[in-house]
Structure 1
Amino acid sequence: MPADHPFIQPHRDGIHVIDTGFHRPRFDASYLVVESGRAAFVDTGTNHSVPRLLAALEHVGLRPEHVDWVIATHVHLDHAGGVGLLMRQLPRARLVVHPRGERHLVDPCQLVAGARAVYGEAEMERAYGQVLGVPRERVVTTHDGMTLAWGARTLRFLDTPGHARHHHCIWDDRSRGFFTGDTFGLSYREFDGPRGAWVLPTTTPVQFEPEALRESVQRLLAGEPQRMYLTHYGPVGDVPRLGAHFLRQLDAIVALGRAVEGATDRHAALKEGLSDIYLGEVRERGLAMSDQQALDLLAMDIELNAQGLGVWLDRPKRH
C-alpha cells in the first residue's frame, strides 16, 4: 500500500482516517476499518465524499464487495448524508444505525427537510446533493450494549444521547477506542499545541440535552479508552484530560445559555458568549494564531452551537 495519500491517513489497528472533503480540509472524517481482508466504514460524510471513500478502499487493496458494514454514528448529514449513495456501490454491505435513526436513512425526506430549515435550499444542494434512502432489508438497528462480532474483532454499541437522541458510539476492542461521532465533541487539528489537543462540545440543533450528554461522556470515560475517533476531526489520545475539559466546557456553555436566556437579541448574545469562551481557551493554549484566525475556523460551529442552545432554552420542560 502506498505510504502517502492526500486524503487518506493510516492510523493503527487497521484504522484509516479519510478526509471527506466537507467544508474544509481536516474538518470531517470517515473511518475505514480493515479486519482480515474485510472492511467497514464508520460515518460517510456527504454524497460528495463517496468517491473518496471508494478510492480509500482501492488504496488499501480492497474492492466494494469486501465491505461488510457501513456504520452511522448518527444521521446528521455531515455524518450520514452519503450513506444511501455509498450503499449502492457496496453489494454485500449492511447499514448499522441507531433505532431512532433507521427511518431517516430508509426515507430521508424528513431529515432533509430539517437540514434545509437550518441551512437553506442553496446550501443544501451545494453541500449535500440529493440524499438517497437505503432499502430497509439492508439495515441493522442497534440496542444499548449490542455487540457485533466481525472476524477476530468485536464492536460494541452504546446508546449515547445528548448531542442527538439517535446517537450511538462504537467501542472497538482491537484499538481500545470509541468512534464517537459528535458525542465527544469537536477537536480540530489546527488547535493542537504544546499541551496537546483541544476539544469542545457541539450543540448543533435540534436535540442538545446537556444532562444526557454529560452522562454519555462520563459513560465513555468509564471504559478507560486509549483514544477517541472523532468525526471532526481524527483520533485523539490523552482521553482523561480531554474528557475533564469537555465536561468543564459543557458546564460553561450551559451557564452562558441560562445567563442570556432573556436577552433582547439572544442569538447574538449566545454567539458573542461562545466566541469569548473559545477565544479565552485558545489564548491560554499559547497558539501562534490570531483571534480572527480562530474565529474564522470556528465560525460555523459558533453559529450552529448558538442555534442549538437557543432550541434547548426554548424547550418547555428544561431542568
Structure 2
Amino acid sequence: MKKTEKLAENLYLIDDFDLNVEERTGTYVLTESELTIIETSASPSIPYIKNGIQELGYTLEDIKYIIVTHIHLDHAGGAGLLLKDCPNASVVVHPKGKRHLADPSRLIAGARAVYGQQFDTLFDPIVPIPEERLIAMDHLSKLHLSDSCTLTFYDSPGHANHHFSIFHSKLEGIFTGDTSGVFYPQLLEDNIELYLPSTSPNQFDPNKMIASIELYRSLSPKYIFFGHYGMSENPNEVFTQVIEWLPKFLDTAQQAILEGDTFEEQVKVTANLLINNIQSFLNDKGIKPTHKVYKVLNLDMEVCAMGLVDYFHKQQHSN
C-alpha cells in the first residue's frame, strides 16, 4: 500500500486514506525552499500527513505554508489540528473561506446536518485557526516558494465559491481542488482514464464550473493535480470528459426530482441513476461491477447527488 509517491521534481503526494479509503484524498508536498503542503483532508488523515512529512526527511517545524483549495472538510477540516504542531506555518485560504477557518462553527453545523452521527468519526476535531495565522489569497495573487517556483492563485468557483486553484510555475501544472472534477486512478491499470464532475453541496454551479475549466484551459497546463486523487498528464482529456459528463449529471438529477417526493428520495434516486449510468459506461469498457473503483464511486455519487438536487431546488426557489 503506497503512502507517499514522487510525482515530479520537489513534488510528492501523500495518501490521506480519507474515510479509510485508499487513493481518495491526497496531500501534496512541495519541497521547495519554503516547504509547502496543499490540502490537509479531514482530521483523521493528519497522522498520515505527519508520517509522510517524516518519510520525506522533514519535520513539522519545516512547514511554512499549508494551502487549502477550499474549506470543505475533506480538504481543510484537518488544517487547524495540523497547524497546532507546525509552529512556523500559516494557512493559505480563499478570502471567502478565511472567516470559516477562524470560526468553524458553521462548517461543523453544516457537516453535522449532512453526516449526522457519523460526523465525529469522519471529521472530529475541527480546530479553529488563529486569524493571525491565516493568509487570504485573491485572484492572481502570487506566493514565491523558491527562486524557480512561484504559485499563482486563481479564483475558480463552480464546485464552491470559496475555491481557488494554484498554478505551479516550474511544473506548469495546476492544483484544481475539486473544480475540474475527480480522477479515478484505480482504473489506470485497466488503461482507462475517468474524470467526473464533483457536484457536492451547497454552492455547486454548473455555469461557474464550466467558466473555471475554460480558465484552466487558457493556462495550457501540462498537469492537473486533483484533490481526489493524484496527477493527470492529460489536461485536455480532463476538461473534455468533465464538460461532457456535466450535462448528463444535470439531466439525471432533473429526472430524479420528478420521481421522488422528498429531498432524500430525490437524492437517493439521483445517486442510483448516476451509478447506473457510470456502470453502463464502464461495462462497455470491460469493467465489472465488482471493480475496486466502485468503493470510491459509490461514495462520490451520494455526495454529487446531494449537490445536484440542492442546486435544482435553489433554482426553483429563485424563479
Moved more, 268-277 or 239-248: 268-277
Task: Tell me the amino acid that sits aligned with residue 131 of structure 2.
Answer: R
Report the alpha carbon displacement of residue 269 of structure 1 after superposing the two structures with TM. Answer: 2.8
Task: Determine the C-alpha separation between the residues in 2 that align with 1:18 and 1:281.
Answer: 30
Tell me the residue number matched to 2:296: 297
Q: Structure 2 vs 1, CA of residues 198 and 318 (structure 1 numbering), >3 Å: closer, same or farther?
A: farther
Is residue 244 from structure 1 mapped to residue 243 from structure 2 by the alignment? no
- The answer for unaligned runs of 5 or more in structure 2 is none
Deviation string 1:204-224 (CA, Å, 9 cap, x unpaired) is: 111111000111111112211
Q: Structure 2 vs 1, CA of residues 284 and 225 (structure 1 numbering), >3 Å: closer, same or farther?
A: farther
Is residue 93 from structure 1 mapped to residue 89 from structure 2 by the alignment? yes
Moved more, 159-168 or 277-286: 277-286
Q: Structure 2 vs 1, CA of residues 317 and 158 (structure 1 numbering), >3 Å: closer, same or farther?
A: farther
Preserved CA contact (<8 Å) 2:81 2:125: no
Is residue 275 from structure 1 mapped to residue 261 from structure 2 by the alignment? no
Q: Structure 2 vs 1, CA of residues 293 and 94 (structure 1 numbering), >3 Å: closer, same or farther?
A: closer
Counterpart selection for 2:136 from 132, 141, 157: 141
Tell me the residue number matched to 1:41: 37
Tell me the residue number matched to 2:22: 25
Preserved CA contact (<8 Å) 1:312 1:318: no
Task: Tell me the amino acid that sits aligned with residue 273 of structure 1.
Answer: L
Q: Structure 2 vs 1, CA of residues 261 and 165 (structure 1 numbering), >3 Å: closer, same or farther?
A: same
TM-score (norm 1): 0.92
Tell me the residue number matched to 1:131: 126
Is residue 106 from structure 1 mapped to residue 140 from structure 2 by the alignment? no
Task: Determine the C-alpha separation between the residues in 2 that align with 1:47 and 1:276.
Answer: 32
Moved more, 227-236 or 263-272: 263-272
Identity %: 28
- The answer for unaligned runs of 5 or more in structure 1 is none
Deviation string 1:283-305 (CA, Å, 9 cap, x unpaired) is: 23333x33675544321112111
Superposition map of 1:51-66 within 5 A: 51-66=47-62
Task: Determine the C-alpha separation between the residues in 1 that align with 2:312 and 2:194.
Answer: 26
Preserved CA contact (<8 Å) 2:184 2:293: no
Aligned residues: CA RMSD: 1.8
Superposition map of 1:306-317 within 5 A: 306-315=305-314, 316=316
- What SS does the corresponding residue of 1:40 show, helix, strand or coil? strand
Superposition map of 1:49-198 within 5 A: 49-120=45-116, 122-152=117-147, 153-192=149-188, 195-198=191-194
Deviation string 1:7-51 (CA, Å, 9 cap, x unpaired) is: 111111211100112121111101111113x31010001212222
Task: Determine the C-alpha separation between the residues in 1 that align with 2:9 and 2:154.
Answer: 21
- What SS does the corresponding residue of 1:69 show, helix, strand or coil? strand
Task: Tell me the amino acid that sits aligned with residue 105 of structure 2.
Answer: C
Moved more, 297-306 or 225-234: 297-306
Preserved CA contact (<8 Å) 1:161 1:168: yes
Q: Structure 2 vs 1, CA of residues 292 and 13 (structure 1 numbering), >3 Å: closer, same or farther?
A: closer
- What SS does the corresponding residue of 2:158 show, helix, strand or coil? coil
Report the alpha carbon displacement of residue 129 of structure 1 after superposing the two structures with TM. Answer: 1.4
Aligned residues: 312
Counterpart selection for 2:5 from 9, 28, 34: 9
Task: Tell me the amino acid that sits aligned with residue 23 of structure 2.
Answer: R
